[in-house]
A and B are shown apart, each in its own frame.
Chain A
Amino acid sequence: MMALVQNAAEGYKKMEIDAIELSDSKAKIIIKDTTNAFVNSLRRVMLSEVPTLVIDDVNIYDNTSVLFDEQIALRLGLIPIKTDLKSYNLPEECSCNGEGCTMCQLSLTLSVEGPKMVYSGDIISADPSVYPADPKIPIIELKEDQKLFLEAIARLGLGKTHAKWQAGVACGYKNLSKITITNCDACGICVEACPQNIIELQCTTAVVTDPLKCTLCKLCEDACDIDAITVDQDESVVILNFESDGSYTAKELIIEASNVLQEKASTLKQILQTLQ
């Protein structure tokens, strides 16, 4: 609340975004001039409301493996599939009214005979542009004379329905730490105390080398005998960490999350405008 009031007083500031780390599966983004509330809403959308394509129905024609049909179906459901939101609709939003058509369903087949280790890459998709994101996930090890033959149907869904549709993995955020060191006697106790090893002694004072790594544990504050070091957090700067399960790249994931959020806001606006 404090931060909100402050921002209002200073007037609107455009937020500044900087990617510290951005790979296909993982991202660390620092957002300045924002609030925890905003970043948290992004985080929650990434976890529960970005649609992903996942196997939802399995017809098993033959299974003589060591796993039960249900267990095979569960394993298939957990395999992330590269999702293209432009060519698929959520079943409840599709023109077929959820009955199932090529715009909201994808058929995949798996037909294997042992002895063989069956991988997610062995699944054959009816749409060549949509396939399991990681081809190396073991599904089941078949021994001599064991067979597995099934057809699966993948649908778009939301993480709030079932965790298999959850696109974001381990999404979390923290504020940037603000470490102030005044009248330091360079005793070095805080250097020893810091579990992240980000405090260094330079001549007559301790210096923080990488405030991004600070976990706000305040061990340095406790260790200091003369109270020269204080750890605070800057509530207008948020460090957002997230990973993708493979159905999107990390960049696509956060873009989709912002789209979902934007859509919600515009729906709200539309409804309010019709009320007058």
Chain B
Amino acid sequence: MIPVRCFTCGKVIGSVWEEFTKRSESEDAGAVLDDLGINRYCCRRMLLSHVKLVDILSPYQ
């Protein structure tokens, strides 16, 4: 799951995750982040480097 907040500054970034993943399929990821108001690089790396594991783990529950 995407972390709720940025590890470094504490800004809530979880809420833009779904829009970010959806839009970055067709648009430039950097431009999407700018548009979503994720300006600092600490917050940007939270979204850019996140790997979704729920689908991989859930069969073994």
Contact = CB atoms under 8 A, between A and B. Distances in A.
Given A134-B12, A169-B9, A79 B40 contact: no
A243 B1 CA distance: 25
B1 A67 contact: yes
B15 to A, nearest CB: 4
A80 B1 CA distance: 18
A3 B40 CA distance: 32
Interface in A122-137: 134, 136-137
Give the size category of A's interface with B: 20 to 34
Interface stretch (A83-91, A140-148, A174-182): A140-148
A138 B15 CA distance: 7
A54 to B, nearest CB: 12
B10 A166 contact: yes
Size band of the interface chain B makes with A: 10 to 19
Contacts of B61: 64-66, 143, 146
A138 B2 contact: yes
A75 interface: yes
Interface string A147-173: 000000000000000010010011000
B4 A79 contact: yes
Interface string B2-25: 111100011110110110000000
A51 interface: no
B51 interface: no
A137 B1 contact: no
B11 A245 contact: yes
Given A169-B11, A170-B40, A245-B11, A137 B4 contact: yes
7 contacts: A66-B61, A78-B12, A80-B12, A138-B14, A140-B54, A146-B58, A170-B10
